[in-house]
RNA sequence: GCGCCUUUAGCUCAGCUGGUUAGAGCGUGCGAUUCACAUUCGCAAGGUCGUAGGUUCGAUUCCUACAAGGCGCACCA
């Protein structure tokens, strides 16, 4: 008797939660519980979503791609581990919570104090985590919850401390006083990669320090000139060579005394401005470098951490904001008749990715990772070389391939990585100070008087360890030896440098291993018009709403079809609706077949095909073989589309339609052959579509008595496993 | 400034290593539909494959230049 469910349209809302529970309760998400021998492991570490809120379409795409790969490999008999987790996302989470608290209570983090503030952040992170974990389930992700990790939990903290200690002892981590990127809004340093450049209009002022100063200079930041210590010109610039080496005393530059030494440096572009650069080493990266080369004073700081002028800027400027000071200096130059020219130019302003604050270069004592130091344990290779080599010698393959060039280009320009942050939420730096002594270790020294460094680590330091901190490193666990290196790292191309490169660095350094064999980079999910989804535009599609309205399967298909690696993809409700109809189509295919084969036993070894069906078998098997190859070669979009097209436009539209005639004909051999073909193809359709549309296929499998008796579709064997 | 990507039907995109009438989905038009389908099915229209050269027996596919759009990195005094 046909199950009455089939008399109504397929209801993903009803089926999906029930089916997920069935899977989760089976224990098969955990590779230890999978049936059969399964000697070969297949591992994916889930890129941990930030605990700053809820999942968006990008997460849905990531989860879909990874789930397809994992489900496919599980059906191919691999010991599949997909390890889920979340990321504490230090700055992002801290600033989010700060904002909330300020809105609700008009307090900042200092009003609450470190301990109380951290409690609040942890509470927020916990809630956010719970939301995310439930949303990952809604997406149908077949990941091993028993191994779930958090970048800031105890085990990961141990890994972080162990790594810091190891790198410190190898001389790769050092403390240095140098110019860093300071975010006045977030009150912390940030790395070069956390800077976003924004093009803005600025005014280039050309002026002289004093009437009798021989060289005019140009600047967009007149207020910093209060801290100038020199002027740099190109060594071959004939206009200025006669001044190189001389020092000029400027008695009164807007109220301060300046001692300006003229130096020749080839970094100076003689064609820009006047061809002479006023040097402010404390507030400019390039000026700092020039000052180092020519031994000029570097610590004349005129702007502090809050973006205000310091005492060095003179009594009339101290305490004033940058913008105000800038106007005052310009006014003064005008009054003195020193301003020669003002022109509008466009310039790139460095802003902090997370807070949007304008980045102020400042000299500070910070912790760095040396990317150019030869490592004894690694045959004298540097971290840069470790990162470069893994991709260059094809140990790691990037998809799409052209991102390799981007990757190499980034490595070439890489400078030492500043890893200390002046924020509270994150891994505390495992360094203790007592007078002039420094102690670096896993635990605090037992004697009294030691104080721990107040700073925390860049969040990407802990994410860099993700492929192995999740497996228990630094302990020598069974998981470590079985699952590392992992197989695929699937993530968005925008975090290739932030994260992917750092994992290659950390794994290569600490283990002498690559972290993964293949990098699959997906693009950004955009709206129907190609715009980025954002809160302010209100054009976002919430994957959870999609699940409610159309079903997760439909959302997954819409995300995957037409989506090639590295390319942005557009999605709309219309597209999703199409795949909702497809789920219903499979539902009705099933209904037709069971209604028309009530007395037919499915026999797996059936060979008595009539002539016309022989062709159908070949066609179908070729299609499955092609799709299998597509999945193996990461053309998931292609496999999904082929299977979709076959099910609907061959199997349903042609073959099933034709069956109506065959059944009427009454030719017994033909009828039997066709019935067997329909049953067999239904079974194969469900199996091959399962990685893409896991819910509807499993629901059907569980509803048909003969298929259900074989257990879960999730662990059914993929056909033609020789491919 | 250095580099990467994209440019194929009205829209969104496929087209793997060059080879018969260039494909899909959506949309459009016409027709059918109490017979698995909160619909579905059939048929049809629609493309000088960004522009200009080149390699080749043959190029949407390879090379060069150019144009438009997008992106990354660096500089930014």
CB A550 within 8 A of CB A506: no
CB A560 within 8 A of CB A520: no
When pLDDT is cut at 50, 70 and 90, the band that residue A517 belongs to is very high
Report the distance from CA of residue A133 to the C1' of nucleotide B23 in Å, as an integer: 40
**3-class secondary structure, A131:** helix
- Pairwise CA distance, residues A574 & A558, whole Å: 9
Report the distance from CA of residue A407 to the C1' of nucleotide B56 in Å, as an integer: 35
Tell me: pLDDT of A721 over 70. Answer: no
Q: At A3, phi and psi to the nearest 5?
A: -65, 130
Nearest nucleotide (C1') to alpha carbon of A199: B76
- Pairwise CA distance, residues A283 & A287, whole Å: 8
What pLDDT does residue A648 have?
92
Nearest Cα neighbor of A6 from A694, A513, A588 is A588
Q: Which of A96-100, A578-582, A661-665 has the lowest mean pLDDT?
A: A661-665
Mean pLDDT of A340-351: 87
Tell me: pLDDT of A667 over 90. Answer: no
- Pairwise CA distance, residues A60 & A63, whole Å: 5
What pLDDT does residue A1 have?
67
What pLDDT does residue A3 have?
86
DSSP state of A50: B
Mean pLDDT of A72-78: 96
- Pairwise CA distance, residues A631 & A68, whole Å: 9
| Omega before residue A27 within 30° of 0, cis | no
- Pairwise CA distance, residues A207 & A222, whole Å: 9
| pLDDT tens track for A180-204 | 999 998 899 998 888 988 888 888 9
Q: What percent of chain A has pLDDT over 90?
A: 75
When pLDDT is cut at 50, 70 and 90, the band that residue A605 belongs to is confident
| pLDDT tens track for A463-483 | 999 999 999 999 999 999 999
Q: Is the C-beta of residue A284 closer than 7 Å to nucleic acid chain B?
A: yes
Q: Is the C-beta of residue A647 closer than 7 Å to nucleic acid chain B?
A: no
User: For the residues of A431-445, what is the DSSP string, one character each?
Assistant: EEEETTEEEESSS--
Report the distance from CA of residue A567 to the C1' of nucleotide B6 in Å, as an integer: 9
Mean pLDDT of A300-309: 93
- Pairwise CA distance, residues A174 & A369, whole Å: 7
| Omega before residue A554 within 30° of 0, cis | no
Q: Is the C-beta of residue A562 closer than 7 Å to nucleic acid chain B?
A: yes
Mean pLDDT of A633-641: 91
Tell me: pLDDT of A485 over 90. Answer: yes
DSSP state of A654: I
**ipTM of predicted complex:** 0.92
Taking residue A406's Cβ as centre, other Cβ atoms within 10 Å add up to 14
Strand B contact residues in chain A (320-349), C-beta within 7 Å:
345, 347-348
Q: H-type helices in A337-437, by residue range?
A: 383-392, 403-412
Mean pLDDT of A397-414: 89
What pLDDT does residue A93 have?
94
Rg (CA), chain A: 32
Q: Is the C-beta of residue A640 closer than 7 Å to nucleic acid chain B?
A: no
Quick one: angle between helices A552-560 and A12-26, nearest 10?
90
- Pairwise CA distance, residues A557 & A576, whole Å: 8
φ/ψ bin of A81: left (φ > 0), alpha (ψ from -120 to 50), beta (otherwise) = beta
Strand B contact residues in chain A (204-233), C-beta within 7 Å:
204, 217-221, 232
Average pLDDT, chain A: 92
Tell me: pLDDT of A444 over 60. Answer: yes
Q: Is the C-beta of residue A664 closer than 7 Å to nucleic acid chain B?
A: no
Report the distance from CA of residue A563 to the C1' of nucleotide B49 in Å, as an integer: 20
What pLDDT does residue A723 have?
45
**3-class secondary structure, A330:** helix
Q: Is the C-beta of residue A414 closer than 7 Å to nucleic acid chain B?
A: no
Distance from the Cα of residue A324 to its chain's centroid = 39
Taking residue A574's Cβ as centre, other Cβ atoms within 10 Å add up to 9
- Pairwise CA distance, residues A720 & A717, whole Å: 9
Q: H-type helices in A636-667, by residue range?
A: 636-645, 657-665
Mean pLDDT of A358-373: 94
| pLDDT tens track for A100-150 | 999 999 999 999 999 999 999 999 999 999 999 999 999 999 999 999 999
Nearest nucleotide (C1') to alpha carbon of A659: B36
Q: Is the C-beta of residue A235 closer than 7 Å to nucleic acid chain B?
A: no
Report the distance from CA of residue A539 to the C1' of nucleotide B67 in Å, as an integer: 32
Nearest nucleotide (C1') to alpha carbon of A633: B16
Tokens 């999904």, located at residue: A640
Mean pLDDT of A269-277: 87
């Amino acid at each position: 008797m046909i199950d009455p469910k089939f008399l109504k349209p397929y209801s993903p809302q009803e089926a999906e939660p029930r089916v997920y529970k069935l899977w989760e309760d089976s224990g098969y998400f955990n590779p230890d519980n999978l049936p059969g021998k399964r000697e070969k492991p297949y591992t994916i570490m889930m890129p941990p979503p930030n605990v700053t809120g809820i999942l968006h379409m990008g997460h849905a795409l990531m989860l879909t791609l990874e789930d397809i790969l994992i489900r496919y490999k599980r059906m191919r008999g691999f010991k599949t581990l997909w390890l889920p987790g979340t990321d504490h996302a230090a700055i992002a989470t801290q600033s989010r919570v700060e904002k909330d608290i300020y809105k609700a209570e008009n307090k900042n983090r200092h009003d609450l104090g470190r301990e109380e503030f951290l409690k609040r952040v942890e509470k927020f992170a916990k809630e956010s985590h719970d939301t995310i974990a439930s949303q990952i389930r809604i997406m149908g992700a077949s990941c091993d919850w028993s191994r779930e990790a958090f970048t800031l939990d105890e085990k990961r903290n141990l890994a972080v401390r162990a790594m810091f200690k190891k790198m410190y002892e190898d001389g790769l981590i050092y403390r240095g006083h140098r110019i860093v990127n300071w975010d006045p809004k977030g009150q912390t340093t940030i790395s070069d990669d956390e800077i976003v450049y924004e093009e803005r209009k600025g005014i280039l002022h050309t002026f002289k320090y004093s009437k009798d100063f021989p060289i005019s200079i140009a600047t967009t930041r007149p207020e910093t000139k209060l801290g100038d210590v020199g002027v740099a010109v190109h060594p071959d610039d004939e206009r200025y060579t006669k001044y190189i080496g001389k020092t000029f005393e400027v008695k009164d530059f807007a109220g301060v005394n300046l001692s300006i030494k003229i130096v020749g440096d080839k970094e100076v572009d003689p064609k820009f401005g006047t061809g002479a650069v006023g040097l402010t080493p404390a507030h400019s990266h390039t000026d700092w470098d020039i000052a180092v080369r020519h031994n000029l004073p570097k610590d004349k700081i005129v702007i502090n951490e809050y973006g205000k002028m310091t005492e060095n800027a003179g009594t009339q400027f101290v305490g004033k904001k940058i913008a105000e000071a800038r106007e005052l200096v310009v006014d003064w130059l005008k009054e003195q008749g020193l301003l020669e020219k003002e022109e509008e130019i466009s310039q790139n302003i460095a802003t902090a990715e997370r807070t949007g604050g304008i980045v102020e270069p400042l000299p500070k004592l910070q912790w760095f990772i040396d990317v150019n130091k030869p490592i004894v344990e690694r045959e004298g290779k540097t971290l840069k070389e470790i990162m470069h080599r893994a991709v260059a010698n094809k140990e790691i393959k990037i998809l799409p391939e052209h991102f390799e060039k981007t990757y190499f280009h980034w490595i070439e320009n890489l400078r030492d990585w500043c890893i200390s942050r002046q924020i509270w939420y994150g891994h505390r730096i495992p360094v203790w100070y007592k007078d002039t002594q420094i102690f670096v270790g896993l635990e605090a020294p037992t004697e009294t008087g030691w104080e721990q460094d107040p700073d925390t680590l860049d969040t990407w330091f802990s994410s860099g360890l993700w492929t192995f901190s999740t497996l228990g490193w630094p302990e020598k666990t069974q998981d470590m030896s079985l699952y590392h290196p992992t197989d695929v790292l699937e993530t968005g191309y925008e975090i290739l440098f932030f994260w992917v490169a750092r994992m290659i660095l950390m794994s290569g350094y600490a283990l002498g291993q690559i972290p993964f064999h293949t990098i699959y980079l997906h693009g950004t999910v955009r709206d129907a018009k190609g715009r980025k989804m954002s809160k302010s535009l209100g054009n976002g599609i919430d994957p959870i709403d999609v699940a409610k309205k159309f079903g997760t399967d439909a959302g997954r298909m819409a995300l995957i079809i037409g989506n090639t690696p590295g390319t942005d993809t557009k999605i709309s409700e219309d597209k999703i609706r199409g795949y909702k109809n497809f789920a219903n189509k499979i539902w009705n295919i099933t209904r037709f077949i069971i209604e028309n084969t009530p007395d037919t036993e499915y026999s797996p070894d059936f060979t008595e095909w009539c002539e016309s069906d022989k062709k159908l078998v070949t066609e179908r098997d070729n299609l499955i073989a092609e799709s299998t190859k597509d999945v193996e070669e990461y053309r998931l979009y292609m496999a999904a589309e082929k299977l979709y097209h076959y099910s609907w436009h061959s199997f349903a539209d042609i073959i099933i339609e034709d069956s109506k005639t065959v059944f009427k004909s009454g030719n017994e051999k033909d009828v039997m052959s066709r019935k067997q073909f329909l049953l067999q193809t239904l079974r194969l359709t469900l199996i091959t579509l399962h990685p893409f549309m896991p819910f509807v296929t499993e629901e059907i499998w569980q509803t048909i008595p003969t298929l259900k008796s074989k257990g879960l579709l999730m662990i059914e064997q993929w056909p033609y496993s020789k491919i």
